[in-house]
Amino acid sequence: MKHEENYARFIVILALVSTACGGDDLECGPGTHPYGDRCVADVSSCGDGTKLVDGQCVPLCADNEIWTGKHCVPDYQCAPGTSPVAGQCVPTCTKDEYWNGQSCSKTPRCALGTVFDENTGSCVPNELICAKGTHLDNGQCVPDTSACGDGTHLENGQCVPNRLPAPDVVESTDPTGKVTFDLPDPGKSITLGGTVDTPIDLNGDSIVDADYDRFSFSAQAGTWIRVHATSEGAAHPAFALVSDDTDAQGQVLYARYAVNPLGVDTEREFYLPRSGNYTLVVSDYTHVTSDLFGWLALPVGGDDFTYLITVDNLGDPTPTPIASVPASKTGDSGAGALAFYQMKDLKLHDARVAQHMGKPSGMMASDTFGALMLFGPKGTLVRESLSYSLTGDATILFAATEPGDHLLVVDHLLSIGPLTDYELRVEQVDTVDCGAANCAAGTLAQGTSKLLYWDLKEDNVFAMGAKVPDTESSSLQVQRMDAGLVPVGEKTSASKYGPAKIRTYIEKDQRLYLLLTGYNGNAIASYELDVKTPTVDRLTSATTHSGLKVHEMPLDIYPSAGMGRWDAAAGQVILSTSFTTAWPNWTQPLEEYLTLGFEPLPKLRDTTDPAFPNSILPPLMAYMPKAGRFLYQTKDDAGGDIVGASYDTTFHALTPISLATPTAGNPVSKTNQGLIPTAGWSLFGFSVPKGQTVALKVTPKGTEPLQAEAWIVTPGRHQYTSGNHSWVADKEEIGLGILARQAASAPGQEVQLLVEAPYDDTQLVFIRNIDAGDPTGRA
């Protein structure tokens, strides 16, 4: 999901505005005025019985009264220099004075929240009535505080920042470490907390690295949890949940992501497909999206980038049944929700296709990268499909490998916005039994496919060739699939330029499928399909197999061949002798050993021959570093028509006789040894330290002594470097290379060999009789 550039980004700016506090520099904005050490809103309306005068609420006077600035008095005229007070004209006092009934006196300054009462001559609480939405505060009507913004709450009449509770589990103090926690029981929750720390250089490359916090836990397959992240500080949390288990390429088996571009609360559900350990990776939205999409962004973090994670165990889901197909189900995966559906009572080999549509019907777009998981009757994950685009479908094509209910989980890899509607479609898939029907030819209409199957037995070889006419403009694609409709190997194509072909050995009874499609859904006017399923012969050690048959293979696709299979133990040497043919069309008979994937095993080479590596010697043999099953094949290497022919061969699985480990001055020996009658060979094994010189002596005995030839051999491989060919001894290799060989010139003659050990492990000694007589002498 990474891209080199992304010019269609958006930016969300969260601005925190602070006001100045205290001091002589207090400046208030429009609609406010200074009051003490803070700015308060101007009063814009007054309560009943009062009116607004010069920004303050004052009592309403009667129609025949006027407000003096301090109280209401009768509205009549007094002589200049006098003012009406209590119904009579008295001398007018200055602004900071009042009439005490006898003379003008200085008006005292009253404390905040009180006013001077001329009638009592003292300071009393302010009795002004404030308008709705305001209240008396230190003698002033100030606005009420009843609603606070996001991230704050009302406390003692003030909006103050929210504070999250302390977490149950705190992040590791190691920037690259992780902490472990236990999942709560169903219906319970646990909280995790930490800080996206200030970026630092973690790997010494002089570039600061983003901080990621890791929380690890163990879970059983089928665990359903919800994870919610939030922050009271500057963090914009996002997270990923990944499995600790990986595949053969080192990729995690499970990964899901949660981001929210529109707020600090990020949440989603997870349904864990396998038992094992999982890691919740938490960081800032900037870091997670940069990793996902390849965006360039500066790392963020600091002490105020705190977060709190809540993990809820949701228990067991209650799936919605799908009793019949075709079926279409819709819903909303908002807030990261998953949906569960159960396909009821599937029978063995029932074939279905389930699709989590990339763009649900009636929707212009989607903000979800869809995912779909399928579980079998025993709760085991059968298949998973992920979409790496917002419009791509997550599709699972499968056949039931066991009867019963199957669970579908409508999941998502990632959601990046509010468009979270989903649509699930489930349909039946038609199949053709090619054991009963004639599948030798057919056509494909535009946008269609065919799913063919064969029920095969252990030791069958499935060989297929497909062709289209030279006039066909498109190509026929053929995909082999196993009994559950999991693709096996790469697609093969038939076109006017050549056929499609598949050959595989069947290790156990099973159903094999072929999916036929036209390239890009194109129509195929006609095609031919040639399938052969011969049974290979089982080869046993020290046995001469006579009259073995050559099997017909798809014409012009694979050569007709005789085939066998054998099982070997670790450390054995496999050897074939006494190969004969009886058919006039054999011109260049060839024996070879193959892997179960039909790859040839390397043959014995004489590394002392100047022609090395072109120094292959008979007989056919190979070393078995591990126990396993392999194939034997014989064919006419010149392409002769040998269908119906027969052949004989003798197969041997030889275990070396140990010579122990000789040391300087302490030789080891074996006396009264004989050749294996059916093989004509003896096989011994020894090991000495690398670089040690080994002397081998073979002394024939008996009245009719053998004419011995001895080889010292190691398993290994041919290597070509800097223009030179060499033999690399390696006990894990199948190939065999002769390091030294010597043959007697006459029966009874002693044979001696010297060789420097190329490595510390197994070396083999082969002894045979090269005399024309019966190879049964003693040595």
Least confident window among 483-487, 488-492, 610-614, 660-664: 660-664
pLDDT of 17 reads 28
CA atoms within 13 A on the CB side of 173: 0
pLDDT of 23 reads 39
Helices (H), 593-729: none
320: closest CA among 344, 340, 345, 346? 340
Task: Record the tokens describing residue 493, joined without a space.
Answer: 């194509």
Q: Collapse the DSSP code of 518 into the 3-class scheme (helix H, G, I; strand E, B; otherwise coil) and give the result.
A: strand
Task: Record the tokens describing residue 455, joined without a space.
Answer: 């029920």
Q: Is 328 left (phi over 0), alpha (psi -120 to 50) or beta?
A: beta
pLDDT of 4 reads 34
pLDDT digits (tens, 9 = 90+) for 288-326: 999 999 988 899 999 999 999 999 999 999 999 999 999
| Residue 42 confidence class, pLDDT cut points 50, 70, 90 | low
Structure letter (DSSP) for residue 320: E
Q: Name 384's Cβ contacts closer than 8 Å, sequence gap at least 6.
A: 273, 371, 372, 373, 374, 396
pLDDT digits (tens, 9 = 90+) for 162-189: 788 999 999 999 999 999 999 999 999 9
Query: How many Å apart are CA 115 and CA 609, to the nearest integer?
Result: 120
Do residues 368 and 415 lie in contact, with contact meaning Cβ atoms separated by under 8 Å? yes
pLDDT of 373 reads 99
Task: Record the tokens describing residue 35, joined without a space.
Answer: 């009051």
Region 263-273: mean pLDDT is 97
Higher pLDDT, 97 or 716: 716
Task: Record the tokens describing residue 358, joined without a space.
Answer: 């990339």
pLDDT of 380 reads 97
**Helix H or strand E encompassing 99:** strand 97-99
Q: Name 78's Cβ contacts closer than 8 Å, sequence gap at least 6.
A: 84, 89
84: closest CA among 774, 6, 70, 337? 70
**Percent of the chain whose predicted confidence (pLDDT) is above 90:** 70
Longest C-alpha distance within the chain, in Å? Answer: 167
pLDDT of 120 reads 78
Residue 729 has pLDDT above 80, yes or no: yes
Place of tokens 């003096």: 68
What is the secondary structure of 725-756 as a DSSP string? EEEEE-TT-S-EEEEEEEE-SSTT--EEEEEE
| Residue 19 confidence class, pLDDT cut points 50, 70, 90 | very low
Do residues 256 and 199 lie in contact, with contact meaning Cβ atoms separated by under 8 Å? no
pLDDT of 113 reads 63
What is the secondary structure of 663-696 as a DSSP string? BTTB-----S-B-BTTTTEEEEEE---TT-EEEE
Residue 31 has pLDDT above 70, yes or no: no
pLDDT of 15 reads 27
pLDDT digits (tens, 9 = 90+) for 148-162: 766 677 777 677 777
Is the pTM here over 0.85, yes or no?
no
**Percent of the chain whose predicted confidence (pLDDT) is above 70:** 87
233: closest CA among 162, 154, 285? 162
Q: Collapse the DSSP code of 588 into the 3-class scheme (helix H, G, I; strand E, B; otherwise coil) and give the result.
A: coil
pLDDT of 331 reads 97
Q: Rg (Cα) of the chain, in Å, rounded?
A: 45
pLDDT of 10 reads 25
Contacts 24+ apart (CB under 8 A), 448-452: 448/518, 448/521, 449/515, 449/516, 449/517, 450/515, 450/516, 451/351, 451/485, 451/513, 451/514, 451/515, 451/516, 452/513, 452/514, 452/515, 452/516, 452/529
Place of tokens 């990964």: 255
pLDDT digits (tens, 9 = 90+) for 632-647: 999 999 888 899 899 9
506: closest CA among 565, 457, 566, 553? 457
Task: Record the tokens describing residue 261, joined without a space.
Answer: 């571009």
Query: How many Å apart are CA 549 and CA 642, to the nearest integer?
Result: 10
Higher pLDDT, 276 or 76: 276
Higher pLDDT, 354 or 99: 354
pLDDT digits (tens, 9 = 90+) for 184-223: 999 999 999 999 999 999 988 989 999 999 999 999 999 9
> What is the chain's mean pLDDT, rounded?
88
Query: How many Å apart are CA 302 and CA 308, to the nearest integer?
Result: 15
Structure letter (DSSP) for residue 81: T
All structural domains of the chain: 32-143 (no CATH), 169-313 (2.60.120.380), 320-428 (2.60.120.380), 441-532 (2.60.120.380), 537-654 (2.60.120), 660-769 (2.60.120)
Place of tokens 């959601």: 415
Region 757-771: mean pLDDT is 92
Q: Collapse the DSSP code of 315 into the 3-class scheme (helix H, G, I; strand E, B; otherwise coil) and give the result.
A: coil
Task: Record the tokens describing residue 381, joined without a space.
Answer: 């994950």
| Residue 338 confidence class, pLDDT cut points 50, 70, 90 | very high
Residue 505 has pLDDT above 90, yes or no: yes
Task: Record the tokens describing residue 4, joined without a space.
Answer: 């080199």
Region 719-731: mean pLDDT is 95
Query: How many Å apart are CA 481 and CA 452, to the nearest integer?
Result: 10
Do residues 746 and 692 lie in contact, with contact meaning Cβ atoms separated by under 8 Å? no
Residue 132 has pLDDT above 80, yes or no: no
Place of tokens 């890791």: 214
Least confident window among 80-94, 235-249, 582-596, 739-753: 80-94
Q: Name 272's Cβ contacts closer than 8 Å, sequence gap at least 6.
A: 219, 220, 221, 222, 223, 224, 225, 254, 278
Query: How many Å apart are CA 115 and CA 126, to the nearest integer?
Result: 6
